[in-house]
Amino acid sequence: MSLSSTSTIKRQISSQLGAKAPAYFEPLASFVTGKISRPEFEDSLKAVLDAPNLIQLHNALIISLFDARSFKRPLTPPPDLPKPPPRKRRRTLPYQGPGDDGSIRSERLKRWTVSVGKHERDWIAALESVQPSTGPRLDTDEIARERGVVLLPERGEPPGSRLAVQLATITRSPNVQHIADRINLICAQNNLGSPSRSVSSLMHLACE
C-alpha cells in the first residue's frame, strides 16, 4: 500500500487536530531542526495524539519526511552528443562494378591508363621488360630459405662419435656430470682442449 504525499498527510492532521494543530507542528519543527531531543518530542505529543488514527497519520508523516524515495530526483537524460563523421569503408575486394571484366582490356583500366600524365607514361614506356625467373626465390620460397643442420667434427672424429648428451627435460635437473658432458662436447666441436672439473662445478653453481 503506497503512502500519501507529505502535504496530503499534513492537511489530514490539521483537519483532525483543529485548534491543537500548532501544538503538534511546533514540536515537530523543533525536532526536525534538532532543537529538541526525541524523548522531549515524544513527551510533547502524548497529549495531542490521543486517537489511534492520529498516531497512524503521525507515523505516515514521519515516514514521508525521512523516506529517501520522496526526495529522489529523476535522472537527467544525457545530452545529445554529436555523431562522429561516417568512416569510409576500406575496400578489401577488387573492383566489381560496371566496365570491369577482370582482364587487361577492361574499360576501367583503359580510362585509368588514359588519365595517367605524359611524364608517367614516358617513364613506364622506358622500363625494360624482365623475363620471369623460373627458379625458387629465396625471399619467398620457404624450402629454399631453410638451411640444413651442419654437424661439426669432434676433435678430428666424425660427428656423433661421442655419446649423446641428455637434455635437462629428461634428466629433470642439470647436475655436474651433465654440465661437464655438454661443455666437453662444445669444446670438442670447436677444437678446444678438455676443460677442468672446476669449470663444470662453477657452471653448476651458476645454474643453481
Judge whether residue 63 has pLDDT over 60.
yes
Q: Which segment, 28-42, 75-89, 132-146, is predicted with the most confidence on average?
A: 28-42
User: For 97-137, what is each residue's pLDDT tens digit?
Assistant: 665 665 666 777 777 777 888 888 888 888 887 777 776 66
The residue that leads in pLDDT, 193 or 69, is: 193
- Residue 7, exposed/middle/buried by CB under 10 A (0-12, 13-18, 19+)? exposed
Residue 169, pLDDT score: 59
- Its pTM stands at 0.33
Mean pLDDT, the chain, rounded, equals 75
Please report where in the chains the cell 523543533 appears, as a residue.
30
Average pLDDT (197-205) is 78
The per-residue pLDDT for range 51-62, each reduced to its tens digit, is 888 888 888 888
- CB burial of 72-85 (b: ≥16 within 10 Å; e: otherwise) equals eeeeeeeeeeeeee
Tell me what pLDDT residue 143 has.
62
Which residue, 88, 105, 11, is CA-closest to 57?
Answer: 11
Q: What is the pLDDT of residue 139?
A: 62
**For residues 186 and 173, what is the distance between their CA atoms, to the nearest angstrom?**
20
Q: Which residue has the higher pLDDT, 148 or 42?
A: 42
CA 155 to chain centre: 57
**Contacts for 143 with CB less than 8 Å, ≥ 6 apart:** 136
For the four alpha carbons of 73, 77, 78 and 79, in that order, the dihedral sign comes to negative
Q: Supply the pLDDT for residue 194.
A: 78
Over residues 37-56, the mean pLDDT reads: 85
pLDDT > 90 in the chain, percent: 0
> Per mean pLDDT, which range of 60-64, 163-167, 181-185 is the poorest?
163-167
Give the CA dihedral 29, 31, 35, 37, nearest 10 degrees: 160
Q: Element (H or E) spanning 110, and its range?
A: helix 107-114
Is the pLDDT confidence value at 198 over 80? yes
1 pLDDT higher than 60? no
Average pLDDT over residues 156-184: 71
Question: Stretch 164-188: mean pLDDT, rounded?
Answer: 72
